[in-house]
Chain A
Amino acid sequence: MRIPAFIIRCSIATVWTIFLVLAFHAFVANVTCPWRSFASVFYLGLAAILVFSSVYLIALLRAKKDSTIHLIAFSFLILTLVCRILWVRYFDAQQVSDFHTYWNIGHSIVVDGVAAQSAFPGVYFLRSIFYTAPIQYIFGDNQQALELVNVFLVTITMFIFYDFGRRVFSAKIAAGALLFFSLSPDIWYGVTLANHDIAFLPWLAGLCLVMYWIDKRLHDKSYISMPIVLLSITVGILIFLLEVQRGFGLAAWFALIFLLAYYLYNHYRENRVNIVNKANRARLPGKDWLKRGLVFILVLLIIPLGTYELSKSVFINITGIWSESDYVTYISAKDVHGSDRYGEMLPWREEYSRQLPEDLRTEFSVRKLSSEVSSDPVETIRHIFRKNGVLADPTGTLGFSSRPAEDPWVGRTNSDGVPMQRELHKLLSAILFFLLFLRLLLHPFFPIKRGGFFLIFFTAFLYLLILFFTEAQPRYSLFTVFLTSLLIAQLLFGGWKLRSNTWWNSIKKASKSTNLEK
């Protein structure tokens, strides 16, 4: 085995094991009060969810043709749409915390114009300009309209997600993933809020689908074509929207760079094998490798980056507003004795770092950060697990959406039986995290097509970014829901494959041949 390939494989196995440990910890974190949770099995809602999920999964298991699966998935999509409409018809939410700000800034953009927003922190403007502002512009100050738009965004997301899933995995896995996606409580509770996380979902689903198309075209054809360029431009625009809506541009760029490195390495390896076979001796790959490598770099990095920067400068020219973060100060707010919750990081950001002289700020912040991370390594590791526990908590958005109504236009809020709902979701999450753990444990049986690598890289980088550097909130688990849903569905419907052979078919083949021998 050659050394680079060996190191890469070991690294991938290590990263996989890290996520395996985190998934198990997330499972444990959600069964910390098992007796109360098990008691909630008798809760009608949980029973209904389990019965319905079982019926849906059995129907999928029994479906033979893709057309049948599409029909089942489409029916499920319509059913969840209807349920969500009923949900937002029945429940409102008091807009609290930042959601209140997004709603108000959306209103202010419509009434006072963009120029008046420069007095506020740029991040609030960015998150409102493509979300609450258009809603208020079209529908006015109407919370019901906001909720219906959220439902529409979730449905669009599910549709794109299904299309992506069926292409990269299979229709059955994609349909199964729709169920697990829908079990995410943040989506249900989030639709009643001016929740920028909901507005972020379709952009991410769209980016994953576009990346699948790019991957397909890049590997089907060896030359650059107009459709690939257009898709590449779309990637740049979608990353711009991810950055504006949620500030996750960095994770997307990391994922793209990693994907590019993988393409280049993979292409080099394949090319090298061909040359070795041809000439019967090892030598460096030639012009073709360089040409293809340049195409990869152009499509995956240069065009998207150019589009992103162009979009950004056009946006800044028009609005005059952008959110420039001081990353060092932001990251140095880490507190390893806590779990990097908002309130724990706020004093450093707002009170301490601002007292530092300008020329000293970066240096002192770096020293503070290095102290945090290295002064007590055991505490740092415990801190990471505490953060993982926070991220595994499924009740973040429930906490925000269940506050009693204060504003007169807010109707009935989901404020009753909140502890019961919390435990119900914890139990459901425990089940899902255990399935995810199993899926990660058995990963050699479940190959993933290259078209899904962007989603994997993006989710992994984003999760590690949050885990190691940024603030943690329970509702952030929403950002991993695409990948985890697909992986869990793959565990149930993926067929157990080992390397390129279908494991189950191999067993069948073996038994047939044995019968013939007999």
Chain B
Amino acid sequence: METANNRSRFVKGFKRIASVHLVGLIGLIIIIGLFFAAAKCISYTGLTLMDMREFQLVEEVSDGMDQYLMPDYVNANSLAARYYLIDDMAREELVTDLAKWDVAGSAWASHIHNITAFSTDNSAITFNLPAHYTHYYIYTFPGSWSAPPPGWDAFFEGFGTSTLVKIEIDYILHRDLDALKLFFQQYNDEARIASISWHMPGKKGSNSFTTTLNIHSEAKSFRVYMQFLNMAQNEITLESLKLVNMHGYNLLLTRIENNFKKLSFTLSLSGIAEYPGFIVFKKDIDLKGRSDYQSLRFFVSVEAGELDKALLSFLEIKVFLDEALVWSMPVSEIGNPTFVEQNIEFLNSKELSEISFSVGCDPPDSATQKEIMDQGIDISIEYLDIR
């Protein structure tokens, strides 16, 4: 009886606790639900600023430009991709062709001794590839792999004058390879300072591979390695292996980070800033609650680190509403931050549909050419409002 009484009081007590907190929990869920609903409603009233998450990266370059959107090492959330704007006319063949027998026949060596290189018409180099149970290499410029190649100075005359090199390889395989990799190693006057590798196609027949790589600022020479895993007798004919200096690229987009209030990105400037090109972010305008818009407002910031901002006068930030340019300012004149309020009343006659921010440069005259090396510029566009 006593135990039953105690138990009933405990049960009563805990029922009360449960009921109170159950009511509280339901109340909490209702509050969170109301909050989400209110947030949705607010976004429809036009009381909020423009959502910066919807900006999409697009490329806009002048005629005669090549573009490369190159996935880079992604080791941080904010790093998106390296974006190169390259003037294709400015390409300069660094090495005439490492696959030409008459040019580079004696430049090739192998890791194991039973590989032979031969040529039939001097236009290409063919290697016999013996069956082997482990990886093996052929490579350019015999010598210790950890030391710079001796005695091949003619090949390296133009190397290191550009910070970007494009590698183009065409080759024919007699049969399928088990694996094929390309290595590119860079040396200064004393030792190896950088190494990078790529997987290449290893199917029977004609293959080609193109890639772009950054050149170390101290690099004076290089070696190219091809690594094979080949379980049967095979042959590879190198029809073309070119290294091309890519001059005239001017903008590298190395970071994009945006949330609902901010679009920020880092541009890395390199080379001679004489080639036109723009990096553009666009979004559709949702004009809910903003039927009588009259002005465009936002904050823009430019952080150039230790770089003298005056050097950036050739770069401009432009804002377009649809096709109409509504605001532009040289990067050198933008503070950290700068509030922009621009009258857009003249656009009232039609419905706006798109807004875009462009950063880049138009073709400058020769007097304004600047050479800037490896400078990162952080640009942020925040709190965008059309009202």
Contact = CB atoms under 8 A, between A and B. Distances in A.
Interface string B213-238: 00000000000000000000000000
Interface string A359-377: 0100010111011111111
A352 interface: yes
Secondary structure at the A interface, as helix, strand, loop or mixed, is helix
A18 B32 CA distance: 11
Contacts of A9: 23
A243 B51 CA distance: 38
Contacts of B28: 14, 17-18, 21
A64 to B, nearest CB: 25
Given A367-B385, A370-B42, A503 B13 contact: yes
A356 B339 contact: yes
Interface stretch (B14-22, B132-140, B170-178): B14-22
B20 A443 contact: yes
Interface in A320-356: 337, 351-352, 355-356
A273 B184 CA distance: 91
A71 interface: no
B2 A511 contact: yes
A511 B6 CA distance: 8
Contacts of A374: 38-40, 42-43, 48
A21 B51 CA distance: 31
B57 interface: no
A381 interface: yes
Nearest to A21: B28
Interface in A422-468: 441-445
Interface string B29-40: 011100110111
A371 B261 contact: yes
A222 interface: no
Contacts of B48: 367, 370-371, 374-375
B24 interface: yes
Contacts of B336: 351
A374 B385 CA distance: 15
A266 interface: no
Contact of B6 (A17, A441, A507): A507
B345 interface: no
Contacts of A442: 17
A370 B47 contact: yes
Interface in B213-267: 259-261
B299 A14 contact: no
A338 B9 CA distance: 47
Contacts of A16: 20-21, 24
A15 B38 CA distance: 19
Nearest to B24: A17
A500 interface: no
A442 B47 CA distance: 42
B297 interface: yes
A352 B43 contact: no
Nearest to A511: B2
A3 B188 CA distance: 83
Contact of A377 (B39, B261, B338): B39
Interface residues on A, range: 35 or more
A142 interface: no
A507 B383 contact: no
Contacts of B27: 10-11, 13-14, 17
B78 to A, nearest CB: 13
B12 interface: yes
Nearest to A496: B13
Contacts of B16: 444, 498
A368 B5 contact: no
Contacts of B32: 381
Interface residues of B, number: 44
A19 to B, nearest CB: 10
Given A367-B49, A444-B17, A355 B6 contact: no
A72 B38 CA distance: 53
Contacts of B367: none
B337 interface: yes
Contacts of B40: 374
Given A373-B39, A514-B5, A367 B20 contact: no
Contacts of B2: 510-511, 514-515
Given A13-B20, A367-B48, A498-B12, A372 B337 contact: no
Contacts of B5: 507, 510-511, 514
B299 A355 contact: yes
B341 interface: yes
Contacts of A444: 13, 16-17, 20
A407 interface: no
Contacts of A355: 299, 337-339
A517 B1 contact: yes
A376 B259 CA distance: 9
B385 A364 contact: yes
A20 B39 contact: no
A305 B196 CA distance: 74
Contact of A13 (B21, B36, B259, B297): B21
A4 interface: no
Contacts of A370: 42, 47-48
B25 interface: yes
Which of A15, A351, A375, A442 has the largest count of B CB atoms less than 10 A from its CB? A375
A357 interface: yes
A274 interface: no
Given A443-B20, A510-B2, A517-B1, A337 B297 contact: no
Contact of A352 (B9, B24, B299): B299
A511 B375 CA distance: 84
Nearest to B43: A374
Nearest to A363: B387
A218 B157 CA distance: 97
B387 to A, nearest CB: 8
A364 B25 CA distance: 36
Contacts of A18: 24, 28, 31
Nearest to A354: B339
B371 to A, nearest CB: 32
B52 to A, nearest CB: 9
A16 B51 CA distance: 35
9 contacts: A18-B28, A352-B383, A366-B47, A367-B385, A368-B49, A370-B48, A375-B261, A381-B35, A496-B13
List of 4 A-B pairs having minimum Cβ-Cβ separation, nearest first: A17-B24, A14-B27, A374-B39, A375-B260
Interface of A: 9-11, 13-18, 20-21, 337, 351-352, 355-357, 360, 364, 366-368, 370-377, 380-381, 441-445, 496, 498, 503, 506-507, 510-511, 514-515, 517
Given A443-B20, A445-B13, 7 more contacts: A355-B338, A367-B49, A370-B48, A375-B39, A441-B17, A444-B13, A507-B5
